């Protein structure tokens, strides 16, 4: 976005349009000259750059020039360079000068020379240090380069964002990129209503009190994600406050507005709407339950009869084909909460819902929850233990269902060593269900494999006949026949491992 005073618009009837920069020869030449100034002036003072840039305003639209300048300076890194802290340098010079009356340049030079010697620096270094902390004196240390076409398209995008800051609401239609759009809507904390298909209504700043500036900024930040779609269209209501506030429509689409910079990067890090969600995320990952369940922040959008819904989290079991969702309902307006609950009621699957019991609307007499979903109430922090218990119940229910589906079915096992994972895939059930159903008396069920008893007896006879006493030798024999779980095998065969500290070479085995 650009500062509001650099916004350039025109109006026609009830429409308002940003005055975009044309991607033509004239503007490309201007942008190219601008970029060259910053590229060539690395190491120069900001005041020197300002003098050059000021010349561009002569005979040109100064708002356009300052807009381009603003965007380029955001790609700059300015640093102060000094031999001593500027405040220290100035204090030393002023104190030295106050002891005598300076009437000419020679006397001033003498003071500077004496102070430089006192500070153990050169006269040049002292002069550079005196005002190095002033904005005009900072030096351009680095500049992130872009081409003229990108600069003009970035300007146009920023101009549109600046206009959207004044929006009271926006309707969006799009094709493709819907996951990223809904993720962005949720991440930015925007309130939205699905209008069917790929159409969404986003409420603007005027619908909330005390949040207008922050909310307006969030609405504008959504635009770069929208323009990354294959096709898109927006219709935003813009309030222009002159003598009498008036609402205009800002309409823009991908067919007529191709000169907007499309993002090349996507958000990779995990982001959160609130500290409550972030705290829950990290607390869950620290638990042992995280070994069995993958926690996914803001999974794919779910389309229901009540619109689009993006749960806060999805739990995905790492071994079984189980997925379940989790939503945290914190503070919002009563109307928004009602819409949220309406979407939750329309979901075609179970979702655990954590609700802040301190919600004002939740405690009102006329407010009804009406959810047919499991609910966990909380104050200040989400009850992680209750979430873990819910996941355990979900896992048990799935195992019971899978066991029931294969009950009475004979599970065929062929071979001396069979992977439980392979059996599970063959019968389309989870590994836990396989372990629960296997009852072949000729096999022993371990954690990851099923092993024929005859093979295990052969291993035991070999260990006994060879009088194997060292753990490392027993382990080698077991692994040589294709078993990667020697500790489980030794326990099954009746051997006890006698550990001698951390020295595996001295560790022995003993038959009970």
* Residues 62-100 pLDDT 10s: 899 899 999 999 999 888 778 888 888 888 888 887 766
Share of the chain above pLDDT 70, in %: 88
Q: How confident is the model at residue 57 (pLDDT cuts 50, 70, 90)?
A: confident
Q: Is 362 a residue whose pLDDT tops 80?
A: no
Supply 70's token pair.
Answer: 């603003």
State mean pLDDT over 20-36: 91
Find the farthest-apart pair of alpha carbons in the chain and give their distance in angstroms, rounded. Answer: 110
What local confidence, expressed as pLDDT, does residue 58 receive? 77
Q: Which range, of 4-13, 64-73, 172-181, averages the lowest pLDDT? A: 172-181
Name the region of 370 (left: φ>0; alpha: ψ -120 to 50; beta: rest): left
Supply 413's token pair.
Answer: 């096992």
* Residues 437-493 pLDDT 10s: 888 889 999 989 999 999 999 999 999 998 888 888 999 999 998 888 899 999 999
275-397 — its CATH code? 3.40.1350
- For CA atoms 488, 490, 491, 496, the dihedral sign is negative
What local confidence, expressed as pLDDT, does residue 233 receive? 92
* Residues 280-317 pLDDT 10s: 999 999 988 888 999 998 777 776 666 677 788 999 99
What local confidence, expressed as pLDDT, does residue 260 receive? 83
Residues 402 and 429: beta-carbon distance below 8 Å: yes
Share of the chain above pLDDT 90, in %: 25
Cβ neighbors of 357 (< 8 A, separation 6 or more) are 363, 377, 378, 379
Q: How far apart are the first and last CA of the chain?
A: 76
What local confidence, expressed as pLDDT, does residue 365 receive? 47
Cβ neighbors of 233 (< 8 A, separation 6 or more) are 172, 173, 174, 251, 252, 253, 254
What local confidence, expressed as pLDDT, does residue 511 receive? 85
Task: Count other Cβ atoms within 10 Å, centred on residue 390.
Answer: 18
What local confidence, expressed as pLDDT, does residue 374 receive? 84
Q: Which range, of 111-115, 222-226, 478-482, averages the lowest pLDDT? A: 111-115
User: What is the enclosing helix (H) or strand (E) of 331?
Assistant: none
If you average pLDDT over every residue of the chain, what do you get? Answer: 82
What local confidence, expressed as pLDDT, does residue 101 receive? 66
What local confidence, expressed as pLDDT, does residue 52 receive? 86
Q: How confident is the model at residue 210 (pLDDT cuts 50, 70, 90)?
A: very low
Fold classification of 165-256 (topology level): Alpha-Beta Plaits (3.30.70)
Cβ neighbors of 86 (< 8 A, separation 6 or more) are 80, 129, 130, 131, 132, 133, 134
State mean pLDDT over 98-117: 76
What local confidence, expressed as pLDDT, does residue 70 receive? 92
Name residue 379's beta-bridge partners: 381
What local confidence, expressed as pLDDT, does residue 209 receive? 41
What local confidence, expressed as pLDDT, does residue 230 receive? 82
Alpha-carbon 408 to chain mean position? 48
- Residue appearing with tokens 């979430």: 387
Residues 195 and 201: beta-carbon distance below 8 Å: yes
State mean pLDDT over 267-279: 73
Q: Is 207 a residue whose pLDDT tops 90?
A: no
State mean pLDDT over 144-166: 91
What local confidence, expressed as pLDDT, does residue 388 receive? 94
Q: How confident is the model at residue 355 (pLDDT cuts 50, 70, 90)?
A: confident
Give this prediction's pTM: 0.55
- For CA atoms 495, 500, 504, 507, the dihedral sign is negative
Q: Is 264 a residue whose pLDDT tops 70?
A: no
What local confidence, expressed as pLDDT, does residue 484 receive? 87
Q: Which range, of 68-82, 246-260, 336-350, averages the lowest pLDDT? A: 336-350
What local confidence, expressed as pLDDT, does residue 140 receive? 85
Q: How confident is the model at residue 150 (pLDDT cuts 50, 70, 90)?
A: very high
Q: Is 265 a residue whose pLDDT tops 60?
A: no
CA distances, 299 to each of 72, 197, 284, 291 (Å): 36, 19, 17, 19
What local confidence, expressed as pLDDT, does residue 85 receive? 82
User: What is the enclosing helix (H) or strand (E) of 342?
Assistant: helix 334-346
Q: CA 251 to CA 88: how far, in whole Å?
A: 56
């Amino acid at each position: 976005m650009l500062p509001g005073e650099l916004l350039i618009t025109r109006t026609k009837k009830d429409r308002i349009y940003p005055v975009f920069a044309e991607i033509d020869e004239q503007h490309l030449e201007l942008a190219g000259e601008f970029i060259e100034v910053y590229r060539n002036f690395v190491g120069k003072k900001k005041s020197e750059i300002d003098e050059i840039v000021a010349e561009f305003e002569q005979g040109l639209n100064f708002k356009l020039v300052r807009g381009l300048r603003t965007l380029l300076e955001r790609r700059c890194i300015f640093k102060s360079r000094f031999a001593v802290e500027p405040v220290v340098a100035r204090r030393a010079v002023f104190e030295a000068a106050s002891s005598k009356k300076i009437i000419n340049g020679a006397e001033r030079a003498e003071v500077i020379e004496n102070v430089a010697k006192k500070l153990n620096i050169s006269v040049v270094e002292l002069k550079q240090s005196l005002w190095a902390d002033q904005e005009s004196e900072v030096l351009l240390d680095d500049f992130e380069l872009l081409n003229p076409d990108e600069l003009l398209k970035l300007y146009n995008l920023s101009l549109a964002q600046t206009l959207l800051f004044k929006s009271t609401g926006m309707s969006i239609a799009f094709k493709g990129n819907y996951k990223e759009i809904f993720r962005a809507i949720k991440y930015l904390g925007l309130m939205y209503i699905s209008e069917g298909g790929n159409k969404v209504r986003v409420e603007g700043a005027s619908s909330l009190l005390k949040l207008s500036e922050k909310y307006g900024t969030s609405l504008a930040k959504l635009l770069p994600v929208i323009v990354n779609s294959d096709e898109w269209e927006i219709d935003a209501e813009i309030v222009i406050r002159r003598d009498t506030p008036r609402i205009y429509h800002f309409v823009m689409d991908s067919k007529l507005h191709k000169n907007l910079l499309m993002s090349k990067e996507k958000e990779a890090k995990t982001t959160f709407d609130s500290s409550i969600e972030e705290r829950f995320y990290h607390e869950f990952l620290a638990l042992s339950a995280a070994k069995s369940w993958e926690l996914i922040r803001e999974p794919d959008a779910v389309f229901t009869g009540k619109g689009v819904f993006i749960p806060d989290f999805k739990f995905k079991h790492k071994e079984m084909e189980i997925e379940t969702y989790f939503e945290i309902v914190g503070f919002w307006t009563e109307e928004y909460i009602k819409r949220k609950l309406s979407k939750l009621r329309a979901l075609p699957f179970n979702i655990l819902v954590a609700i802040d019991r301190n919600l004002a609307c939740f405690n009102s007499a006329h407010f009804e929850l009406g959810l047919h979903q499991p609910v966990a109430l909380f104050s200040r922090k989400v009850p992680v233990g209750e979430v873990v218990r819910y996941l355990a119940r979900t896992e048990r229910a799935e195992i019971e269902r899978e066991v029931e589906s294969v009950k009475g079915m004979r599970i065929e096992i062929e071979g001396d060593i069979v992977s439980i994972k392979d059996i599970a895939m063959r019968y389309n059930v989870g590994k836990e269900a396989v372990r629960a159903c296997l009852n072949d008396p000729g096999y022993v069920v371990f954690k990851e494999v099923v092993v024929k008893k005859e093979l295990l007896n052969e291993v035991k006879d070999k260990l006994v006949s060879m009088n194997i006493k060292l753990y490392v030798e027993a382990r080698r024999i077991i692994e040589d026949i294709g078993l990667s779980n020697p500790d489980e095998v030794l326990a099954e065969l009746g051997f006890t491992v006698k550990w001698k500290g951390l020295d595996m070479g001295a560790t022995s085995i003993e038959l009970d």
